[in-house]
Amino acid sequence: MIELASVCKSLKGRNILQDISLEFIEGKAYLIKGHNGSGKTMLLRMLCDLLKPSSGEIMRNQDYTYGVMIENPSFLENETALYNLKYLAAINNVIDENKIIESLKQVNLYDERNYKVKTFSLGMKQRLGLCQAIMEEPDILILDEPFNALDEENYKMAIDLLIQLKEKGKMIVVASHGFSSDDNMLFDQTITLSDGKVINTAI
């Protein structure tokens, strides 16, 4: 479980997040909603330790592994999709090439694995971002706007994939500004942010 207790974050004198208290549990999927600039991405960055809170506390009851896709997916553009994934896999060295290939097949990018990333569309880059996030089967998946450039077929693929991972006990946190939890069976809780504050948590 990850628990945020009265977490605040300010950057350059501006309050980005104010008094956030939330709980995230394994095996559940959370949707974080809110308009642009509401603090969704900052909250995700805090969850995966890319940012430290200015005040308040983030408690984790174990050392989790994270799969993260935040902001627009950026990769080594002059290298192939497979090279980028191997580059990231080499950091922890817990998966082999077969697992990378399997993950590429899961996101429908196997045929494009040897193409340079600079030739990819935004939707393909998003799928590559999703692929690097899931390939090591982390405990927690943190995804920022993962569906906005996907076509209908790949959107369905991504949702099905996330449902499967949730069923395996993974915690999934997705931020989106225009996504409704009524659309599918993925999310267990919707958290709405406005101006850096939680204004609604619906189950």
Residues in contact with other proteins by CB under 8 A are 11, 41, 45, 48-52, 65-68, 70-71, 74-76, 84, 87-88, 91-92, 132, 136, 138, 142
Taking the least distance from each CB to other proteins, the nearer of 142 and 158 is 142
Taking the least distance from each CB to other proteins, the nearer of 16 and 198 is 16
Q: Please, what is the minimum distance in Å from the beta carbon of residue 19 to other proteins?
A: 20
Q: Please, what is the minimum distance in Å from the beta carbon of residue 45 to other proteins?
A: 7
Q: Please, what is the minimum distance in Å from the beta carbon of residue 8 to other proteins?
A: 15
Taking the least distance from each CB to other proteins, the nearer of 124 and 181 is 124
Q: Please, what is the minimum distance in Å from the beta carbon of residue 94 to other proteins?
A: 10
Q: Which residue has the tokens 């497979």?
A: 82
Taking the least distance from each CB to other proteins, the nearer of 90 and 203 is 90
